[in-house]
Structure 1
């Protein structure tokens, strides 16, 4: 029968179809498993890549042409003399007020000293008495000497009279010295100016009680020579070697905002103040026109002479923790390497380093939290060898 004849063929076809379907099913399963494995591998790779931080780096900037430092300074008169009285008394008169220009030797005040006047009169009287006694002793000695030949007087008496005359002459010399001392003191009743200058202070008036010496109160007058000024600056210890004697400086004053004045470094204290860690330096400033005033504030810009060119990095690159002050650098294998550094100057956005890194170190601009030595990082943006330079900044405000 036809049905029975086609039955083996149909079963064979069904077997082939089942086999093909099984193979397809296996391939689908295998493909799905492989796809999941590829997806898992890609996910693991992406996760690993995301775990590597991306950092921006810069090369330390060593391009410094004319480094300067700005510091606050104080102007002082080149010569300044507080005038104290040498004699006690009352101020009789004065003739020079603050701001007056005076000449050397000019009398600017006079003191009335009645006690000194009486002492001088007494000393002169004592001198007169001593001179009279000395003359009498000398005359008596001369008369006694004429009687030696007649043996009316002995040599013992002659020796005694000679000694008495010597004592009287010594007393005369002592009285004479006392008179000259008091006369010299009387000369100080007139207050004179020691040098040409300006009266910058007057702290007395007519009738005021004057005490001799400089420990009982302020000076009567202060005379200052302001044709030349001294500028005093306290320089931080690490900058002292870079500021040489004879170096030029530029002075700016608040009262002359559009002008500058030239000064020269004259001297250094050659010592460091323990309290401030600074060295005091003195600059000379010409003030022939009298425009600048002693005691005034000044901004002093000084040139720094360096033996080596300093390196600058961004301030954000510094890391300070229990290990000290460090920066994070990226090596050729893109791994982190920490280096200890020392700061020469804080320029605000930039930091000038004294030591710790070299010019070819790749410094991480903003190190992420938790970064450690040997961590793998990815350098952002630039091609190898091309990194952004830190902008140069030469001045620091005092």
Structure 2
């Protein structure tokens, strides 16, 4: 007969062996999984990038910002002191050459004129007396009743009185000339673009900016000033036509003509000032505003363009990442020319053979390994075929 206790212990022992084996297998699998994860974490991740070729922009139009100024602009200052008696034109009014803008009341100047005239009358009376005295002494000299010295003294006194009369007359003329400035007039046909005074205001003589009483501007024709970069100045010449547009007239284009060039490059901006003129008979263009100038003149030399997403900005300046040998990155510094909206002009730093990384990863540097996207790889293979 078999031992019942031994028979009952066999299933239990087999169960324990199975459990132990399962635990050992789970531990082995867990360690293998952890080892694989550590191995994957220690393996550097190679980023996948897209590449593109720099596009040549030959004969692209030149679009620049400009400012508009009136053809003539005259700030009207006070030439005499007093109080504003009246004004007859306000901002926006059309004026003609010589038209009265305002009148200044000058009580002090009026008294100066009265004083000058009184002094002139006194001088003339002294001159009359000196004239008769000199003639009398000349008669006495011929009769040998007086000496030559005394007669010369009277003649000298007459000359002095004549000079005094001339000086007093000049003073009267000066005050009368100043009185003509009590009436402010327009120096040319134009529009009143500023009025900085009112009736009863104290008027002082001055010519400092901001102290003008009126500003008259001729806006029938306008001057347009634009700074042309040095690389494009050779393509601009006097007589060239350009298209002008302003934000307040969307869709409308005005024709401007190059009037003159400064013939000098500004050291701070690296550009040359160019003056254009544009007719403004309809008064649609406003002086003092900003405008956009579109030149059809081609660039002086062929340039390359890339999308803004390819640019890298850091402490080293503006750079781009290019694809080198063995799919390793080569970072190159570049000089950006103009911002053309969806692309930027590259003045220097890359050439047409460079493969530019379209969206470079953060912190990318020269020598980093990258993987080219499948679409780019297929395109490169087709290009080689």
Q: Which TM-score band (shorter chain)?
A: 0.7 to 0.9
Counterpart for residue 226 of structure 1: 219
1:65 counterpart = 2:59: yes
Contact conserved, 2:233 with 2:272, CA < 8 A, in 1? no
Deviation at 1:239, TM superposition (A): 5.8
1:214 counterpart = 2:207: yes
Deviation at 1:173, TM superposition (A): 0.9
Counterpart for residue 233 of structure 2: 241
CA distance in 1, matches of 2:183, 2:251: 45
Counterpart for residue 192 of structure 1: 185
Decide which moves more: 306-315 or 369-378. Answer: 369-378
**1:317 pairs with 306, 310, 315, which one?**
310
Counterpart for residue 83 of structure 2: 90
Taking a change above 3 Å as real, the CA distance of residues 362 and 148 of structure 1, as seen in their structure-2 partners, is same
1:386 counterpart = 2:383: yes
Deviation at 1:258, TM superposition (A): 2.7
Taking a change above 3 Å as real, the CA distance of residues 76 and 382 of structure 1, as seen in their structure-2 partners, is same
Contact conserved, 1:243 with 1:302, CA < 8 A, in 2? no
Contact conserved, 1:90 with 1:113, CA < 8 A, in 2? yes
CA distance in 1, matches of 2:210, 2:340: 46
Aligned CA-pair RMSD: 3.3
SS in 2 for 1:128: helix
Counterpart for residue 178 of structure 1: 171
**1:56 pairs with 36, 50, 58, which one?**
50
Q: Structure 1: 5+ residue runs without aligned partners?
A: 1-49, 388-398
Contact conserved, 1:98 with 1:202, CA < 8 A, in 2? yes
Decide which moves more: 359-368 or 349-358. Answer: 359-368
Deviation at 1:62, TM superposition (A): 0.8
Counterpart for residue 38 of structure 1: none
Taking a change above 3 Å as real, the CA distance of residues 327 and 96 of structure 1, as seen in their structure-2 partners, is closer
Q: Structure 2: 5+ residue runs without aligned partners?
A: 1-43
**1:286 pairs with 279, 282, 286, which one?**
279
Deviation at 1:370, TM superposition (A): 6.9
CA distance in 1, matches of 2:179, 2:349: 70
**2:354 pairs with 345, 349, 361, which one?**
361
SS in 2 for 1:147: helix
SS in 2 for 1:293: coil
Taking a change above 3 Å as real, the CA distance of residues 92 and 238 of structure 1, as seen in their structure-2 partners, is same
Q: What is the TM-score of this pair, normalised by structure 1?
A: 0.73
Alignment coverage as a number of residue pairs? 336
**2:74 pairs with 75, 81, 99, which one?**
81
Taking a change above 3 Å as real, the CA distance of residues 271 and 121 of structure 1, as seen in their structure-2 partners, is farther
CA distance in 1, matches of 2:270, 2:129: 74
Per-residue CA shift, 1:5-43, capped at 9, x if unaligned? Answer: xxxxxxxxxxxxxxxxxxxxxxxxxxxxxxxxxxxxxxx
Per-residue CA shift, 1:117-141, capped at 9, x if unaligned? Answer: 2211221121121122112212211
- Kindly name which structure, 1 or 2, has the bigger radius of gyration based on alpha carbons: 1
CA distance in 2, matches of 1:170, 1:378: 101
Taking a change above 3 Å as real, the CA distance of residues 385 and 185 of structure 1, as seen in their structure-2 partners, is farther
Contact conserved, 2:235 with 2:300, CA < 8 A, in 1? no
